[in-house]
Structure formats: C-alpha cells, structure tokens
Amino acid sequence: MRYAFHLRIRKGREREYVTRHRNVWPSMIEELKRSGVRNYSIYIDGRDVFGYWECDDINETLKFLRGSRINAEWQNYMSDVLETSADDRIGEGLQEIFRLN
C-alpha cells in the first residue's frame, strides 16, 4: 500500500527541519521498519513537506505508529518545528488521484 502526507513547517524553522531529518534517531528508523514502513521519502518545498512511504497494511502500520513510544517522542521533538499538530501528523494521509505504473 502507498501512503502520502502533507505537513507544514513553522515559519523560520525550515533549516532546522532539514537538519533534524538528516540526523533521524536510529531508534526512530528501526521503529519505522518494525511498523512495516519501507521506501520512505520526504520532500520539502518552502514550508510544505510531502512524505511518501509504502507498507503492506496501512491500518496496521498507522496503529503501530500511533501506539509507539519512540514515535511519540519523535513527534514531541518535532513539535517546535512543525505547525501541523502531532495528532494530525499520522492521519489518514493524502488521497491518491492518479498513478502511472
């Protein structure tokens, strides 16, 4: 399954967002893998962030991440950088309207 999301960075915090994602905690990377996330990419355009990942079962992956202590700590760590609330960061994702295979 494919999952895409959009987040908004706080004004003036764009550089910090990039810095933190160049240094993602090893424990967070392992937690993403344990959740079933693979082929994960993040793109930035000004203050807009777009992410994409793949997993086998989106409901199980989101359930795992919502219950993860490590993910909760990461979301807390990112709260001073992101305008998007922590509750909205692991939501239903963006609606796919086109795909070229």
At 54-91, the pLDDT tens digits run 999 999 999 999 999 999 999 999 999 999 988 788 77
CB 75 within 8 A of CB 61: no
What pLDDT does 81 receive?
A: 97
User: E-assigned strands of 21-95?
Assistant: 38-45, 48-54
For the cut 90, the answer to whether the pLDDT of residue 7 exceeds it is yes
Structure pTM? Answer: 0.91
Query: The domain 2-87: what is its CATH number?
Result: 3.30.70.100
Dist. CA 28–CA 26, nearest whole Å: 5
For the cut 90, the answer to whether the pLDDT of residue 49 exceeds it is yes
Band (pLDDT 50/70/90 cuts) for residue 44 is very high
* Model pLDDT for residues 16-41, shown as the tens digit of each residue: 999 999 999 999 999 999 999 999 99
Dist. CA 57–CA 85, nearest whole Å: 24
For the cut 90, the answer to whether the pLDDT of residue 92 exceeds it is no
